[in-house]
Amino acid sequence: MKRRNFLAASGAGLAAAAVAAPAVAQSSPEIKWRLTSSFPKSLDTIYGGAETIAKQVAELTDNKFQIQAFAAGEIVPGLQALDAVSNNTVEMCHTCSYYYVGKDPTFAIGTAVPFGLNARQQNAWLFQGGGNELFNEFYRKFNIYAMPAGNTGAQMGGWFRKEIKTVADLQGLKMRIAGITGQVLSKLGVVPQQVAGGDIYPALEKGTIDAAEWVGPYDDEKLGFNKVAPFYYYPGWWEGGPTVHAMVNIEKWNSLPKAYQAALTNACTTANTVMAAKYDLQNPAALRRLVAAGTQLRPFSQEVMEACFTAANQLYGEIGARNADFKKIIEAMQATRSEQYLWWQVAEFTYDAFMIRARARAGR
């Protein structure tokens, strides 16, 4: 009797295992995706964000979920990455939202807007202040689900073939500039040009453009801009803390097992942190090398900064009056900015200002 009970129980257990095994297998399927980047491989820091995502997703899923990263132009042109994901030509991309302002100016806020948030403030808003939820509500109109997956920190103001001392010096200047910053500068006479990263050097060299901004010393040195434009301006007031996004086709995102969604989310968060850390570590040494090689470092004048600030606020009002999505998100960002700077002036700025003075006194 005991033997029969044991056999029956064993049979039931085997049957249950047979049913459960396929369920487990189905919960961890083998999936292969393609990720197209908007950046060339030569820029290991910003393109490297895509590789960080792919590597960590594979490690977190025992190689069951594999993402192959492609540089700009390998399978999709750099500035068409979002379109390829929206149309489901590829499953995901690694890009800057502000490249797509031609579709809707709201895309600009996803990366950075003039006189917006710095990197830490941007992360606070996106991860904890409801910013990412606002953006995904907007991105859904384009079949996109997005996650922060990189930040360069405050950028430089770009390379110029001539000095910019006054607002009058901006008249007729042809400048490679992304996002709605081009619209801000056009109010001051600049002729904005949108040029992919890999095409900036030849455009500057040939004189097709008079100035260009990209990221900062580490990447700019790699691209050799100092060889074709001697004046290097700061700060990049249009990119205080620009976010690079991982964008996923929303149907593909929804079809992922929850564990894979978590793996991809965590990988993007890691990429976001690692990219910022790399830039902060590598930019100082690169700036020293550029100056030693003859680069002439220049701050934007107070006149230029004030004129740009005024023009930016005028533009936000104009766009917001005709675009409800833009108005909703820019006002949320501005509310966050007000709170953040109230706090930063109490602690962060005071500390930083002291350390700058102390370092100068100590000569190091």
pLDDT tens, position by position, 309-332: 999 999 999 999 999 999 999 999
Residue found by looking up tokens 């998100």 in the block: 329
pTM here is 0.89
Residue found by looking up tokens 């820019």 in the block: 330
Q: Band of the pLDDT at 53, cuts 50, 70, 90?
A: very high
pLDDT (average), residues 204-215: 95
Residue 246 has pLDDT above 50, yes or no: yes
Q: Band of the pLDDT at 8, cuts 50, 70, 90?
A: very low
In this prediction, residue 149 carries a pLDDT of: 98
Are 43 and 197 spatial neighbours (Cβ–Cβ below 8 Å)? Answer: yes
Residue 15 has pLDDT above 70, yes or no: no
Alpha-carbon dihedral angle through residues 227, 36, 44, 220, given to the nearest 10 degrees: 20
pLDDT (average), residues 341-350: 93
In this prediction, residue 363 carries a pLDDT of: 80
pLDDT (average), residues 179-197: 91
Residue found by looking up tokens 């001539």 in the block: 162
In this prediction, residue 19 carries a pLDDT of: 46
Average pLDDT across the chain, whole number: 92
Backbone angles phi, psi at 113, to 5 degrees: -130, 160
Q: Band of the pLDDT at 7, cuts 50, 70, 90?
A: very low
Are 93 and 38 spatial neighbours (Cβ–Cβ below 8 Å)? Answer: yes
Structure tokens at 37: 């980047």
In this prediction, residue 9 carries a pLDDT of: 45
